Chains A and B, each alone.
Chain A
């Protein structure tokens, strides 16, 4: 990847295409799980890679590239969400509870969780998305989003507590 970075910085389009293929899943997943709109997520991901192409000379290593992509995607998603404001903002408390308990193998469980996370405020939502899509530690999330570590931890703690409570009510069982 280091070689591809150096070549891409020198104007090699094939090397840049390799970088895009390598990281498109990560960038798209973050955008998609945050925006919950496939077309919009693809558009935003393309813009992130265009921005990367213009700033390739500032990328120092593959690790820095990953960090840079997560950071730019996170900020762009939050900006996009604030700009858009088309989607109705539903409070987590307003998400309707299912009439019957969902079995363990219910394919709707993931969708239910995504909808719950979707109702969180922008920054808290991005913290949860980065934590569970990229398996990032709170410290990494804080650096990527330019947020204090304690704020990240607080967002995570509060979001998880609300999700846990909601799920416990849905399933009638303890969620840890």
Chain B
């Protein structure tokens, strides 16, 4: 009586390749120049394999992105301001007296009449426009200052995190040595 399992194990036992097999593989690897070129980035990513360093790097990157976003926002606000200034009307003649802006009390809203004829659109008086612009510019200035405050805070936090990451890397390196 034969045991098929044993016969099959005997038939399919391990075989060794030619003696120069390893050398041939290593020659082919050496011939692959792109692999040699990519060694630097592999080493770079290996530096982040330690969990603490990885998290510190992720935190630093996130804060950097926030800082870039805030700077971008501020720049876009500045561009908007410059465009608004360019669209302002020319200053009035020196002979004319500059009237102070008058603040009118809010008018009572009339009850909606669906059957009334639409009134022609009236243009706002100049004083009202100037006042609106003044309020808008104050609002923009307030927003700008707020953005500046946030940016400075983000930069401070980024700086702190980077210092912390540097400290961890130094400690890690010292520990390895």
Taking Cβ atoms with an 8 Å cutoff, the residues of A that contact B are: 9-11, 13, 16-17, 20-21, 24-26, 28-29, 32-33, 41-42, 45-46, 49-50, 53-54, 57, 104, 109-111, 113-114, 117, 128-129, 131-133, 135, 160, 163-164, 167, 171, 173-176
* Residues of chain A contacted by B97 (CB below 8 angstroms): none
Q: Which of B5, B16, B22 has the most C-beta atoms of chain A within 10 angstroms of its own C-beta?
A: B22
Which residues 16-44 of B have a CB within 8 angstroms of A?
16-18, 21-22, 24-26, 28-30, 32, 35, 39, 42-43
* Residues of chain B contacted by A45 (CB below 8 angstroms): 17, 21
Given A110-B7, A135-B9, A163-B4, A42 and B28 contact (CB-CB distance below 8 Å): no
Closest CB in chain B relative to A137 CB, distance in Å? 13
Counting CB contacts under 8 A, is B3 at the interface?
yes
Counting CB contacts under 8 A, is B177 at the interface?
no
A10–B46 CB distance below 8 A = yes
Q: Which of A46, A117, A171 has the most C-beta atoms of chain B within 10 angstroms of its own C-beta?
A: A46
Counting CB contacts under 8 A, is B86 at the interface?
no
Closest CB in chain A relative to B131 CB, distance in Å? 65
Counting CB contacts under 8 A, is B99 at the interface?
no
B29–A53 CB distance below 8 A = yes
Taking Cβ atoms with an 8 Å cutoff, the residues of B that contact A are: 1-5, 7-18, 21-22, 24-26, 28-30, 32, 35, 39, 42-43, 45-46
Given A173-B2, A175-B4, A11 and B43 contact (CB-CB distance below 8 Å): yes
* Residues of chain A contacted by B26 (CB below 8 angstroms): 13, 16-17, 20
Closest CB in chain B relative to A102 CB, distance in Å? 10
A176–B3 CB distance below 8 A = yes
Q: Is the interface of B mostly helix, strand, loop or mixed?
A: helix
B14–A25 CB distance below 8 A = yes
* Residues of chain B contacted by A111 (CB below 8 angstroms): 11
* Residues of chain A contacted by B10 (CB below 8 angstroms): 110
Q: Which residue of B lies closest to A168 (CB)?
A: B2
Given A13-B29, A57-B42, A135-B9, A42 and B21 contact (CB-CB distance below 8 Å): yes
A28–B12 CB distance below 8 A = no
Among A11, A28, A49, A160, point to the contact of B15 (Cβ < 8 A).
Answer: A28
Among B18, B25, B42, point to the contact of A49 (Cβ < 8 A).
Answer: B25
* Residues of chain A contacted by B39 (CB below 8 angstroms): 11
A45 to B25, CA, bound (A): 9
16 A–B contacts, CB within 8 A, in A order: A9-B42, A9-B46, A13-B30, A20-B26, A26-B14, A28-B15, A29-B12, A29-B15, A41-B17, A109-B7, A113-B11, A114-B12, A132-B12, A133-B12, A174-B1, A176-B2
A16 to B5, CA, bound (A): 35
